[in-house]
Amino acid sequence: MASGELFDKSETLALRGKLIGPTCRLFFPHDPIKMVRARGQYMYNEAGEKYLDCINNVAHVGHCHPHVVSAASKQMETINTNSRFLHDNLVAYARRLAETLPPSLSVFYFVNSGSEANDLAVQLARRYTGNYDVMVMDNAYHGNTALLMDISPYKFKRAGSSGKRDWVHVVPAPSTYRKIFQEDNIDLGKAYADEVKKQLGDLKASEKIIAAFVAESLQSCGGQVIPPEGYFQRVIEHVHNAGGVFIADEVQVGFGRVGSSFWAFQLQHGFVPDMVTMGKPMGNGYPLACVVTTTAIASTSSIEYFNTYGGNPVSCAVGLAVLDVLEKEQLMENAKIVGAHLATRLRQLQSRHPIIGDIRGKGLFIGVELVLDRNTKEPATAEAQRVIFRLKDELVLLSVDGPACNVLKFKPPMCFTKADADLVTTKLERILTDIEDVGKNGTLDSGIESGMKQKDVSLPGTQAFTDEPLKV
Amino acid sequence: MASGELFDKSETLALRGKLIGPTCRLFFPHDPIKMVRARGQYMYNEAGEKYLDCINNVAHVGHCHPHVVSAASKQMETINTNSRFLHDNLVAYARRLAETLPPSLSVFYFVNSGSEANDLAVQLARRYTGNYDVMVMDNAYHGNTALLMDISPYKFKRAGSSGKRDWVHVVPAPSTYRKIFQEDNIDLGKAYADEVKKQLGDLKASEKIIAAFVAESLQSCGGQVIPPEGYFQRVIEHVHNAGGVFIADEVQVGFGRVGSSFWAFQLQHGFVPDMVTMGKPMGNGYPLACVVTTTAIASTSSIEYFNTYGGNPVSCAVGLAVLDVLEKEQLMENAKIVGAHLATRLRQLQSRHPIIGDIRGKGLFIGVELVLDRNTKEPATAEAQRVIFRLKDELVLLSVDGPACNVLKFKPPMCFTKADADLVTTKLERILTDIEDVGKNGTLDSGIESGMKQKDVSLPGTQAFTDEPLKV
């Protein structure tokens, strides 16, 4: 067995089947990967095979970054206690984060996960506005608490869920590829914002007022949707006029991933939300997340908020170390350069492969939408699955997402290189060519086989995988 | 400045006031403590003063335990990724936890905090039963998500909260000290359980069915209430008959704290809940928590549950290390012996100090309820505050809690010694004598001064402190 292994892979899998909740799904459940080591943008399985990681946005500055590990270790040796005691790491980290934000966003609440952050943000919005209802974008995913499952169409629209609550209001995702408008050459930012205004007006007519409009700055699980310019600026105006606040969910896309700005909401020129939530990349794997808001919103409530681990000296030391690495290794600049390179390579593929319907994204957050027909835009769901299975066999980790599970999702560690981008796009080109050949010859079955190991084809895990796209 | 300090204490405090949410309260807000180092059951402030810690149940096996720190550091250097990949630490830890539990509790969901655990447990109960309502004990606190604030009377009964939701049902806390029954010599376990049965019957009559009865195995923030023998065994029968499930919240009291058993619910002979939630002590400060349930409940839902950090290799390495230390250092046995010694010393004080109305607890979880009159049981709230202020001045950390903020709350790291118990009870005796002298002489003001530094008396923080007792 490999160093660090306790069981054979088959035993690990058997124990997992017995001991772990079945709704905690494995990546590639029909043939899961056992990882024993990771470094930078690479992960290694028990056989020593080296995978290129294109999906782990949590390992933001690279898996097991020594500066981050060292900061955590040193602080764990010294003191790690709750924020009812004064400690410098908490305020030093808050001050450092404040430097990345507009001045109005200045009061921090530290928590353990993006879910805790979004849940708290909605609670704060409710207390500040005195309202209860929440408005969200279609296909959005905001986290796993009861409240967040209720405001995530990505979850509540699925079979087996309890459906939409009457206090949840859904507006169209502002997609520039799958537009809901027939007209050409319209201002999409304004048109989608007008939809929000209209719904808010309808709610007002039935005496409903929202506490918050909650939106990912760039929609991730919902299919990597990039809002058109001018959308958020107009939406926040409508939301304020209706008595609500705007919560920008940066859990998946913050901390420089978009390359040109530290926060993805800053892609919308001059836009400043009322609250921002942060998570995944923040602690490079250490559970660390945050809500930042205005003094006006923060000063409303008198109910104590206590979070056992939130803002403890270790989590803040880790957060500071992640910011150090981002700066020292110029990873935002890297995301910009490598992201642009990856996008160019993907667009070259698009020119040769009609299955690529759309490429969209910013920096190292890029979605590639596969379609069967560029005119009808029919989702190429099975083909997208085949692509990631084939890539997996070739030791590249990529995932699919979106309502039709047909969007290839790039969100690698920020140390991803041009050579990595070349490697994955070269492999992708060959796989797309194979899939297209199969399509021409009408031998879909052999296409599936070429993308998956023979033993996998009949296993139910494959189906489960398609039902529940992966958000890593 | 001390090693590890970045700012003078006054600057830390000023930055905190500016940057951190005001509802994230400080311990002793009128004169907070800045801690820079901790080890075992001791914490050190920036002046090098050494505090005896009687309250940090999170630093379960002792602050900064080297075995735990080393396990975390090693794993952080190797790999730390989400549970969509196979890793042995996850299953090894689940298997090790399963060994401490009744066989029916065998399916684990790993999360980051006790709040995430309780929130998920209620979601699982709702999906399994198809019901929505929740029944809880009066004064209970179950966590900080929107759902949990709604089911925590400790929070929703406070001024400024939104009050009780109509789907939340509250039964009396099964106190053996503040009994709700007039009769002497009745079976309190049965009597309190009958209250639950009656309420469930009333709900059924109005066509309401609960998804879950949620109870801390020993009520912590609610005033360290120890349920009478036979209570849970009867309650679960009534809850099952009514179509609900029983969730035992061990977030504050699990992992051997009660000394005689690993889980506090096991104090109720033969009782096996349908779900157990775990948290605080589990990771000795690392964010780590868990829900364990039956295969029947776990197999109901088809909606994927993904938790970014839950069950990752580092958190499980930490969890395993905590279990190692508990075993190697025989800390359960220590909790039993030292807890019994502390209880004996406290009972000696009680025989000499009428202000001690009740002493209750198990192992290293002990509440001391202060009253102005043993017959009326009028809470000695101000006196309890004075005790902890005085102890703080004498470098002992103790907190108060309960609905009237008059219960001194012992829940120290599990390495607490007999000498520590002697130290705190000796100091407590002198303080109680002083307070009683003040009472006799009618000079309450000077009593306050003797318990608090002069500058504190007029500051508003003291009031805030009384309003919101501390749950560390």
B432 in a structural domain: yes
Interface contact A91-B16, CB threshold 8 A: yes
A434 in a structural domain: yes
What average pLDDT does this structure show over A149-167?
92
Residues 6+ apart with CB under 8 A from A464: A25, A29
- Residue A353: CATH number of its domain: 3.90.1150.10
Q: Do A149 and A195 belong together in one domain?
A: yes
pLDDT for residue A456? 36
Give A463 or B304, the one with higher predicted confidence: B304
pLDDT at B471 over 90: no
C-beta separation of B116 from A118 below 8 A? no
What average pLDDT does this structure show over A21-43?
96
**From its phi and psi, is residue B327 left (phi > 0), alpha (psi between -120 and 50) or beta?**
alpha
Strands A365-370, A407-410: parallel, antiparallel or unpaired by DSSP? Answer: antiparallel
φ and ψ at residue B304, rounded to 5 degrees: -60, 140
Buried b vs exposed e over B444-471: b needs ≥16 C-beta within 10 Å? eeebbebbbeeebeeeeebebbeebbbb
The residues pairing with B368 across neighbouring beta strands, listed in sequence order, are B359, B408
Please count the structural domains in chain B.
2
d(CA B107, CA B296): 10
> What is the distance in angstroms between the Cα of B147 and the nearest Cα belonging to chain A?
6
Q: Do A319 and A369 belong together in one domain?
A: no
Q: Which residues of A touch B276 (CB under 8 A)?
A: none
Q: Do A25 and A142 belong together in one domain?
A: no
A472 in a structural domain: no
d(CA A259, CA A290): 21
Q: Do B434 and B285 belong together in one domain?
A: no
> From residue B456, how far is each of B186, B435, B464 by CA, in Å?
47, 18, 13
Q: What is the mean pLDDT of chain A?
A: 92
Interface contact A90-B306, CB threshold 8 A: no
Q: Do A36 and A103 belong together in one domain?
A: no
B3 in a structural domain: no
What average pLDDT does this structure show over A176-204?
95
Using the Cβ of A332 and the Cβ atoms of chain B, whether some distance falls under 8 Å is answered with: no
Q: Do A426 and A346 belong together in one domain?
A: yes
pLDDT for residue B438? 79
What confidence tens digit (pLDDT) does each residue in A350-381 have?
Answer: 999 999 999 999 999 999 999 999 999 999 99
Interface contact A106-B56, CB threshold 8 A: no
B4 in a structural domain: no
Residues 32-61 of B with CB under 8 A from A: 32-38, 43, 56, 58-59
pLDDT for residue B442? 60
pLDDT at A84 over 60: yes
Q: What is the mean pLDDT of chain B?
A: 92
Out of A328, A359, A379, pick the residue that ends a domain. Answer: A328
B100 in a structural domain: yes
What confidence tens digit (pLDDT) does each residue in B193-245 have?
Answer: 999 999 999 999 999 999 999 999 999 999 999 999 999 999 999 999 999 99
> What is the distance in angstroms between the Cα of B459 and the nearest Cα belonging to chain A?
17
C-beta separation of B190 from B155 below 8 A? no
CB nearest A79 (choices: B9, B63, B77) = B63
d(CA A158, CA A155): 6
Q: Do B33 and B99 belong together in one domain?
A: no
Q: Which residues of B touch A9 (CB under 8 A)?
A: 86
Strands B210-216, A289-293: parallel, antiparallel or unpaired by DSSP? Answer: unpaired
Q: Do B176 and B233 belong together in one domain?
A: yes
- Residue B208: CATH number of its domain: 3.40.640.10
pLDDT at B166 over 50: yes
Q: Do A35 and A159 belong together in one domain?
A: no
What confidence tens digit (pLDDT) does each residue in A206-244 have?
Answer: 999 999 999 999 999 999 999 999 999 999 999 999 999
pLDDT at B32 over 70: yes
Q: Do A19 and A137 belong together in one domain?
A: no
Instruction: Find the domain containing A164 and state its range.
Output: 66-328
CB nearest A33 (choices: B12, B27, B86) = B86
Q: Do B144 and B257 belong together in one domain?
A: yes
Nearest residue in A to B283, CA atom: A309
Model confidence at A118, in pLDDT bands (50, 70, 90)?
A: very high
> What is the distance in angstroms between the Cα of B441 and the nearest Cα belonging to chain A?
35
What average pLDDT does this structure show over B66-89?
97
Out of B305, B328, B351, pick the residue that ends a domain. Answer: B328
Suggest the residue from A15, A74, A80, A316 to mutate for an interface test with chain B (most B CBs closer than 10 A).
A80
Residues 139-158 of A with CB under 8 A from B: 144-147, 149, 155, 158
Can you give the pTM of this predicted structure? 0.94
Give B459 or B470, the one with higher predicted confidence: B470
Out of B293, B328, B363, pick the residue that ends a domain. Answer: B328
Using the Cβ of B184 and the Cβ atoms of chain A, whether some distance falls under 8 Å is answered with: no
Crossing angle of helices B444-451/B381-393, nearest 10°? 40
Buried b vs exposed e over B174-212: b needs ≥16 C-beta within 10 Å? bbbbbbeeeeeeeebbebbbebbbebbeebeeeebebbb
Q: Which residues of B touch A108 (CB under 8 A)?
A: 19-21
What average pLDDT does this structure show over A100-104?
98
What confidence tens digit (pLDDT) does each residue in A65-75 have?
Answer: 999 999 999 99
What confidence tens digit (pLDDT) does each residue in A272-294 have?
Answer: 999 999 999 999 999 999 999 99
Q: Which residues of A touch B82 (CB under 8 A)?
A: 56, 58, 472
pLDDT for residue A4? 80
Model confidence at A162, in pLDDT bands (50, 70, 90)?
A: confident
Give A460 or B372, the one with higher predicted confidence: B372
pLDDT at B452 over 80: no
What confidence tens digit (pLDDT) does each residue in A392-451 have?
Answer: 999 999 999 999 999 999 999 999 999 999 999 999 999 999 998 877 776 544 334 444
What confidence tens digit (pLDDT) does each residue in A306-360 have?
Answer: 999 999 999 999 999 999 999 999 999 999 999 999 999 999 999 999 999 999 9
Q: Do B81 and B42 belong together in one domain?
A: no
B379 in a structural domain: yes
CB nearest A12 (choices: B86, B112, B314) = B86
Suggest the residue from A85, A123, A288, A392 to mutate for an interface test with chain B (most B CBs closer than 10 A).
A85
B372 in a structural domain: yes
pLDDT for residue A437? 85
Q: Which residues of B touch A312 (CB under 8 A)?
A: 285
pLDDT at B455 over 60: no
* Model ipTM value: 0.94
Strands A42-45, A35-39: parallel, antiparallel or unpaired by DSSP? Answer: antiparallel
